[in-house]
Structure 1
Amino acid sequence: MNCKHASSITLTIGNLLGCTSVCGKDIGMPCRVETDSRKIKEGDIFVALKGERLDGHDFILDAVRRGARGVILKQEEMPKYSELLQGKDVTLFGVQSPERAIVDAAVRYLSSFSSLKDIIAITGSVGKTTTKDAIGRILQGKYKAHVSAGNHNTLLGCSLTVLSAPSDTEYLVLEMGANAKGEIAEIADHFPPSMAVITSVEPVHLEGFGDIRGVLEAKLEIVTPHCEVLFINGDCSLLAEGVAALTDRPSRVITIGRDPSCMFKILDTKLHQDGHQYLREVLIETPLGVAQLESKLWGEQHAMVVAVATAVGYEIGLNFDDIASSLREMSSPKGRGALLKSDEGIMFVDESYNASPVTVKAALKNLLGIPSRGRRIAVLGGMRELGGFEREFHREVFETAISVADVTILYGKEWNNLSANGKEVLHLHDIEEIVNYLKGILRSGDIVLVKGSRVYEMERIYEWWSLNEL
């Protein structure tokens, strides 16, 4: 993509924000802007956002105590906080709307990136964050690539990512997510990708999208007139149909998957153990020949992540050895498949970050694939945002769980009235009850899968064990 240097922009946060007033010394770019005062690190800038339940202005003093060197706040709050923080080494930036100011500042700042080659955007129903991280990992081995942290996939999150990027960034890798139609279109309008990835189209967030067709339409919003190359899951016929129907298709559409027609075809994948580590081996047929890769991303679903990252790397011009070495050392992050082991020899499969029907089934399949000398135990929180399909999908996942696990523990009203004769199934009512039960039954060699929607805070289960990441 062609990006012109905007020499008229002074690269300070105050000028980029278009502040109504500044109290203190302006701050140069890039800078790390944080919306949660608890996550503030020394030198960060805190932005005070007003939400439905909490007002960030109430946490300004806490952010400053934690080391914030700047605060972005509503102009009307400036007199109050300039007095409260008098004598402190902190700069206050007054704006009409902190959230709008952050987005506008990011767009202005991005226009100064004279070395930027491409914005690569990733969306999809599942696998967005891991795919984004894998693409970022292979690019950072050779280029100045900046990657969105965690799942910063909203318009605000992408804006914060841009503001933290060095101005000599060559590749900007952004995750774009949505709970409703129009949200991805808005992000892509502000930060138009020249390369885009759609990992999958699955029945998630149905309360916002209505049905699977609504999900498809939302994901395709990532394809703008600026998009030159689109990478898609070639095993998803619905996605292929949607792309074919686009009136303004990218000049190149690259398919990845197991289907024989895919340009990057997954020929085989298997799990093997190397000492205490589990590695996923993936064999991929590419336009340049067959490539064999392995990664600490051990889940079977990660074969697609490896294949997509390989396809993007080939398109950019990376050689196979660079791609392979970058992916080999990439492991599953906490909450997304990390393997944890207790001092007592109990293994936990940490899938606690979130849950949808397709991801829970994939996690259960992975649980079955891990060699075990003990029992397989599934601890499942309910799945949210399924609309009128909630009961049907919970029944499907339940049937899969009892076919895989020796013990199935269910948490949440979504599982009510589900039971199975001859199977050990428990309905427990809170995290403490789950932990107490597990403490009483677990023994060395057992493997415990933990997964559920964010509202159930399944990660709290680990607080009762001393765990080491494998």
Structure 2
Amino acid sequence: MVEIAVKYLESTTGARRVACDPDRVCRGVVIDSREVGPDAIFVAFPGERVDGNDFAAAAIEKGAAAVVMTREPDQTLVDAAHARNCSLLTCDDPTEFLLRLAQGYRARLHCTVIGVTGSIGKTTTKDVLAACLAKRFRVHATAGNYNNLIGLPLTILSAPADTQMLVLEMGMNDFGEIARLTACAQPTFAIITKVGTSHIGMLGSREGIARAKAEILQGMPPSAENFEGHHSALVLHGEDDFTPLIIEKYARPRGIDVVLAGTSTDDDVYATHVELDETGCPHFDITFEDGLSFKTHLSIPGAQSVPNALFAATVAHRLGVPGFEIDEAFSSLALTGRRAQVRHATCGARVIDDSYNASPESMAAGLNLLESLPCSGTRIAILGEMGEMGEEAPRLHALTGAYAAAKRPGLLICVGGELAEEMATAARLMGLDEGDVHVVPSCDVLIKRFAGVIGERDLVLVKGSRFVGLDRFVEEVCADAR
């Protein structure tokens, strides 16, 4: 983790020191006062409900070496800081403070950074890439959903000093956010998994989403330069319809080489003969740019995982991970939770827990998986509303409902309000029987009405945006949660 003297905190971030020893060394950064340990830096974030500045005294009491505030400390706090030799600093923007501090620490790490973004699949890609690289290198990667303007710098700042490979997931809600993240991280390699419809409500169109994702290139050196022992490259999905735009408008003008990965033999890295086994896990042949080819399989279910694995393998192979180690990593994957995770209900049913988040594209992938796995009982799709769709929300929910109807589940349960009704109406219109389609307003009602309906031979898909809270339904019905 980061170790830095207080006086360098000032010069690196522009924060202003109010009190105490400029030579005291700080170790690690937290934004929750409950996580403060000896010598930590506590950064206070003001909020609508909780103001981190109010916990400055608690952080001092716990042994923080530095407390960064957005308001001037009163004399009582200054006295407490002097008594504990804790430096008090102030800044105007704690997010910018973190980004600047992390950028400075990243430069000192001298590791290779790989940035991963995209509308869907970025967490899976990040997890697979970290697993592949860990076969050869000391790897530090984004944990959980620490992929935003606060989470990414915290990830960098928590990296051990001997990190060789830093795998960073980059999320965003608006234009300019990935530009700030990539300026902080300075990746040598980048992956854009897909240009989908997530955040279309904020960005206006898929072209806007492509532009926002392509901001990741702004922090990368041109491929002609040797940057810390490597030449930069951008990995794109060969079959994504926005790939040509990103190449011509953003990558080529910046002098960054592009590697295409997908399921076409025209791609630089490609998969062929993709087949799912009885557990839904894909088996396929993979071929690389240099002609290396071998049979492999993923230990995670769903054909939608194949492109994500290809993106990861493309970077790992370029960084010197041999094929047999990539194959070993593929066959022993452990991904971030609630992403197409097959779990077991108390009654014996299998539950595909994909409740972490949702977009129309990932909904379709989940429904494909529900259709492809063997099932001797009823296939049940529990679909929650999707957020951040903007004016496109009714149309995209209707399309999701229509797609669900095409997969012919035995039972479709839509969770939410008007948008859930849009899904259900479209599903009925496209042929699902009235009695097989239900709408419930909340997860609480879902649990009350349907938790006891699932049978031991059933297969259940649970998917929706986080605000719907469908993870609570999974925890209610699953034996492995108890």
Q: Using structure 2 for the length normalisation, give the TM-score.
A: 0.85
1:247-266 equivalences under 5 Å are 247-266=252-271
Match of 1:158 in 2: 152
Q: Is the 1:431–1:460 Cα contact (8 Å) retained in structure 2?
A: yes
1:21 and 1:207 map into 2 onto residues whose CA distance is 43
Deviation at 1:463, TM superposition (A): 3.3
Deviation at 1:53, TM superposition (A): 4.1
Choose from 13, 17, 22 the match for 1:20. Answer: 17
1:104 and 1:258 map into 2 onto residues whose CA distance is 40
Deviation at 1:226, TM superposition (A): 1.0
Deviation at 1:407, TM superposition (A): 1.0
Match of 1:56 in 2: 52
Match of 1:313 in 2: 316
Percent identity of equivalent pairs = 28
2:162 and 2:48 map into 1 onto residues whose CA distance is 37
1:443 and 1:174 map into 2 onto residues whose CA distance is 41
Residue ranges of structure 1 left out of the alignment (5+ in a row)? 1-9
Q: Secondary structure at the match of 1:409?
A: strand
Distance 1:249 1:436, change over 3 A: same
Match of 2:106 in 1: 110
1:372 and 1:90 map into 2 onto residues whose CA distance is 64
Q: Which moved more, 1:376-385 or 1:182-191?
A: 182-191
Spell out, residue by residue over 1:145-186, the C-alpha distance to the aligned partner (whole angstroms, 9 max, x if none): 221222222232221111111222222211122211121112
Deviation at 1:317, TM superposition (A): 1.3
Q: Is the 2:116–2:125 Cα contact (8 Å) retained in structure 1?
A: yes
1:53-132 equivalences under 5 Å are 53-58=49-54, 71-74=67-70, 76-77=72-73, 79=75, 81=77, 91=86, 93-97=88-92, 98-113=94-109, 115-116=110-111, 118-132=112-126
Q: Is the 1:257–1:304 Cα contact (8 Å) retained in structure 2?
A: yes
Match of 1:435 in 2: 447
Q: Secondary structure at the match of 1:111?
A: helix
Q: Secondary structure at the match of 2:243?
A: helix
Q: Is the 1:243–1:249 Cα contact (8 Å) retained in structure 2?
A: no
Deviation at 1:232, TM superposition (A): 0.5
Q: Which moved more, 1:329-338 or 1:450-459?
A: 329-338
2:64 and 2:3 map into 1 onto residues whose CA distance is 19
Root mean square deviation of aligned Cα: 2.8
Match of 1:344 in 2: 347
Q: Is the 1:231–1:255 Cα contact (8 Å) retained in structure 2?
A: yes
Deviation at 1:443, TM superposition (A): 1.4
Q: Is the 1:223–1:250 Cα contact (8 Å) retained in structure 2?
A: no
Match of 2:221 in 1: 226
Deviation at 1:84, TM superposition (A): 7.5
Deviation at 1:254, TM superposition (A): 0.6
Deviation at 1:51, TM superposition (A): 2.9
Q: Is the 2:64–2:86 Cα contact (8 Å) retained in structure 1?
A: no
2:276 aligned with 1:282: no
Spell out, residue by residue over 1:254-273, the C-alpha distance to the aligned partner (whole angstroms, 9 max, x if none): 10001231011111222224
Choose from 186, 209, 225 the match for 2:203. Answer: 209
2:308 and 2:318 map into 1 onto residues whose CA distance is 16
Choose from 236, 239, 251 the match for 2:240. Answer: 236
Choose from 157, 163, 166 the match for 1:172. Answer: 166
2:413 aligned with 1:409: yes
Aligned length in residues? 451
Q: Which moved more, 1:148-157 or 1:297-306?
A: 148-157
Report the residue type matching 2:433 in the other structure: G
Q: Is the 1:351–1:363 Cα contact (8 Å) retained in structure 2?
A: yes
Report the residue type matching 1:99 in the other structure: T
Report the residue type matching 2:89 in the other structure: G
Q: Is the 2:379–2:459 Cα contact (8 Å) retained in structure 1?
A: yes
Deviation at 1:141, TM superposition (A): 1.9
Distance 1:443 1:92, change over 3 A: farther
Q: Using structure 1 for the length normalisation, give the TM-score.
A: 0.87
Deviation at 1:47, TM superposition (A): 2.8
2:470 aligned with 1:465: no
Match of 1:269 in 2: 274
Spell out, residue by residue over 1:176-204, the C-alpha distance to the aligned partner (whole angstroms, 9 max, x if none): 22211121112222222111111111122
Q: Secondary structure at the match of 1:410?
A: strand
2:95 and 2:211 map into 1 onto residues whose CA distance is 27
Q: Which moved more, 1:258-267 or 1:361-370?
A: 258-267
Match of 2:3 in 1: 11
Distance 1:16 1:78, change over 3 A: farther
Report the residue type matching 2:108 in the other structure: S
Deviation at 1:366, TM superposition (A): 0.5
Q: Is the 1:20–1:75 Cα contact (8 Å) retained in structure 2?
A: no
Deviation at 1:99, TM superposition (A): 2.6
Q: Which moved more, 1:163-172 or 1:56-65?
A: 56-65
Deviation at 1:229, TM superposition (A): 0.8
Distance 1:71 1:464, change over 3 A: farther
Distance 1:437 1:189, change over 3 A: same
Deviation at 1:131, TM superposition (A): 0.7
